[in-house]
């Protein structure tokens, strides 16, 4: 399987020049905003204080936002803009722009119509711009995790019912796997796509599988018998179809020929309770099974299907001393590892104190698949994050991550037959700094070094520089 680049994806000289100008202007503007202290330069009485501390750039809508949330209605949206420049190696030097507008609606039926445990959500995407991996580098560990086919697409539309104090949860409709499965919380800081919905799935499943930007029909059951343990299983439409075929997210087909994807995952968490003082962490182990005509991405075999295993570990390694006030507590949110709760005890009486979410965290993921039927047969990634490393920038996060993706035997043979040299694996090293300017605006300069793009030495190693700006409406 060789990465195919069509001629339309190449930048014309005018487009390259325009991209570079936008890149430079956007970069300097974003960094100036990022390192400014907007709240510090305003008086305490300034009306802009409330705006800077609001949930979105559009403010509180005259109180309407809070009123709607109190009644179980949350309208959300945001825009993410990126500029990427390839400075060396890959296919060619140049710059591209990548954009994503996302918006949607969450409904909590317990608040709206007193239907306990029921909720509904829909998310839509408007993708624009180009893909730096496709246009500039020629690699498959995708440089941007928002890149995709330019279109307006429904990502998700699902109904969820929780039972027995949320110990059982059932979700059904158009769903994505990467919203709940195979995800490392600490890895979510990074921009390269493989640190989200990983390459060992999107390179081995038909059309990339049900991960961003493609949702599909499915159902998920999650069971949490105790607060530190969760088991979840899901079944999805086996082929989500290519992005330029399933342009708007409505191409549905459930049958044996199209196949099904089954995901099963167990999660264990520790030191997340109020009364626990240790450093929090979690471990996940899972298995995926793919059936159908396209289960084998190498030879299109229909005999035995496809499958693989994966393991994930997130662990906080160091926590900075709390500067909070005694008598408060931050509760654990399993989807956001930085929000960590705990308690300090004395011999007289338990005392609840605020635990800092600043400090050093580590993640690691490893995956194995059958090498005779998969493009990738072994995958590994790892990285470190530090929140609040720079004094005065308590909400900023700096991170360094590495990913290694090894080609399977069948894909190596295919590439060698096509004339590729140095066939073996692709690696990525990413250094990033996420600067939280306000609750609704962030800037993230990013550097990625791609080793052996496409898993071969057909192209030289590439050094890509970029910057992302994200605003929440």
Tell me the per-residue pLDDT of 109-149, one tens digit each, with 9 for 90 and over.
999 999 999 999 999 999 999 999 999 999 999 999 999 99
pLDDT digits over 340-382, tens only?
333 333 333 445 557 888 999 999 999 999 888 899 999 999 9
Q: What is the signed CA dihedral for 129, 192, 439, 441, rounded to 10 degrees?
A: -30
3 state SS of 369: strand
What pLDDT, on the 0 to 100 scale, is given for residue 373?
87
CATH no. for 7-472: 2.40.160.180
Nearest by Cα to 356 from 333, 334, 340: 340
pTM: 0.85
What pLDDT, on the 0 to 100 scale, is given for residue 34?
52
Nearest by Cα to 64 from 75, 80, 51: 75
- Count CA atoms within 13 Å of residue 42 on its CB side: 14
**218 with 210: CB under 8 angstroms?**
yes
What pLDDT, on the 0 to 100 scale, is given for residue 469?
97
Instruction: Please give the distance of CA 373 from its chain centroid, rounded to a whole number.
Output: 26
Cα gap 99→337, rounded to integer Å: 27
Q: Low-confidence residues of the chain, pLDDT below 70?
A: 1-47, 297-304, 323-353
What pLDDT, on the 0 to 100 scale, is given for residue 459?
96
**Burial of 139 from C-beta contacts in 10 A (0-12 / 13-18 / 19+):** buried
What pLDDT, on the 0 to 100 scale, is given for residue 50?
79
Quick one: tokens of 277?
Answer: 């003082």
**92 with 86: CB under 8 angstroms?**
yes
* Omega within 30 of 0 (cis) for the link into 213: yes
What pLDDT, on the 0 to 100 scale, is given for residue 27?
52
What pLDDT, on the 0 to 100 scale, is given for residue 298?
67
Name residues whose C-beta falls within 8 Å of residue 189's C-beta, 6 or more positions apart in sequence: 385, 397, 399, 432, 434
What pLDDT, on the 0 to 100 scale, is given for residue 242?
96
What pLDDT, on the 0 to 100 scale, is given for residue 36?
53
Per-residue CA distances from 428 to 279, 366, 405, 431, 441 (Å): 29, 15, 9, 10, 27
Instruction: Please give the distance of CA 238 from its chain centroid, rounded to a whole number.
Output: 21
Cα gap 387→389, rounded to integer Å: 6
What pLDDT, on the 0 to 100 scale, is given for residue 322?
78
What pLDDT, on the 0 to 100 scale, is given for residue 352?
53
């Amino acid at each position: 399987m060789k990465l195919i680049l069509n001629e339309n994806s190449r930048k014309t000289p005018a487009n390259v020049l325009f991209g570079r100008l936008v890149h430079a202007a956007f970069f300097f503007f974003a960094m100036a905003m990022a390192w400014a202290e907007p709240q510090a330069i305003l008086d305490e009485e300034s009306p802009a204080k409330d705006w800077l501390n609001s949930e979105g750039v559009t403010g509180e809508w005259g109180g309407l936002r809070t009123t709607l949330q109190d009644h179980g209605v949350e309208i959300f949206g945001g825009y993410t803009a990126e500029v990427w420049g390839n400075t060396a190696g890959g296919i060619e030097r140049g710059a591209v722009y990548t954009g994503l507008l996302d918006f949607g609606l969450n409904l909590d039926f317990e608040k709206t119509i007193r239907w306990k445990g029921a909720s509904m959500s829909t998310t839509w995407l408007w993708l624009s711009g180009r893909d730096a991996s496709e246009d500039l580098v020629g690699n498959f560990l995708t440089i941007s995790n928002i890149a995709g086919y330019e279109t307006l697409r429904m990502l998700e539309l699902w109904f969820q019912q929780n039972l027995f104090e949320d110990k059982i949860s059932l979700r059904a409709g158009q769903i994505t796997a990467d919203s709940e499965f195979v995800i490392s919380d600490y890895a979510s800081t990074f921009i390269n796509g493989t640190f989200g919905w990983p390459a060992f799935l999107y390179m081995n499943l038909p059309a990339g599988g049900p991960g961003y930007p493609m949702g599909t029909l499915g159902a998920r059951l999650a069971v949490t018998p105790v607060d530190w343990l969760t088991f979840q299983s899901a079944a999805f439409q086996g082929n989500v179809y290519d992005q330029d075929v399933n342009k708007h997210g409505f191409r549905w087909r459930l049958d044996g020929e199209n196949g099904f994807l089954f995901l099963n995952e167990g999660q264990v968490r520790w030191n997340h309770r109020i009364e626990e003082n240790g450093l929090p962490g979690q471990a996940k182990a899972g298995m995926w099974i793919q059936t159908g005509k396209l289960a084998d991405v190498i030879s299109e075999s229909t005999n035995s299907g496809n499958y693989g295993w994966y393991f994930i570990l997130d662990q906080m390694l160091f926590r900075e001393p709390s500067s909070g006030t005694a008598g408060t507590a931050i509760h654990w949110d399993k989807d956001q590892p930085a929000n960590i709760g705990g308690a300090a005890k004395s011999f007289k009486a338990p005392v609840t104190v605020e635990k800092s979410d600043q400090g050093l965290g580590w993640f690691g993921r490893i995956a194995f698949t059958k090498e005779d039927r998969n493009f990738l047969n072994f995958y590994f990634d790892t990285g470190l994050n530090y929140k609040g490393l720079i004094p005065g920038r308590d909400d900023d996060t700096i991170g360094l991550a590495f990913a290694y993706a090894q080609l399977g035997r069948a894909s190596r043979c295919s590439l060698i037959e096509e004339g590729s040299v140095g066939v073996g694996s692709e690696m990525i090293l990413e250094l990033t700094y996420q600067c939280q300017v306000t609750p609704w605006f962030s800037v993230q300069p990013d550097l990625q070094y791609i080793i052996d793009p496409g898993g071969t030495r057909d192209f030289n190693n590439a050094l890509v520089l970029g910057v992302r700006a994200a605003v929440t409406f």
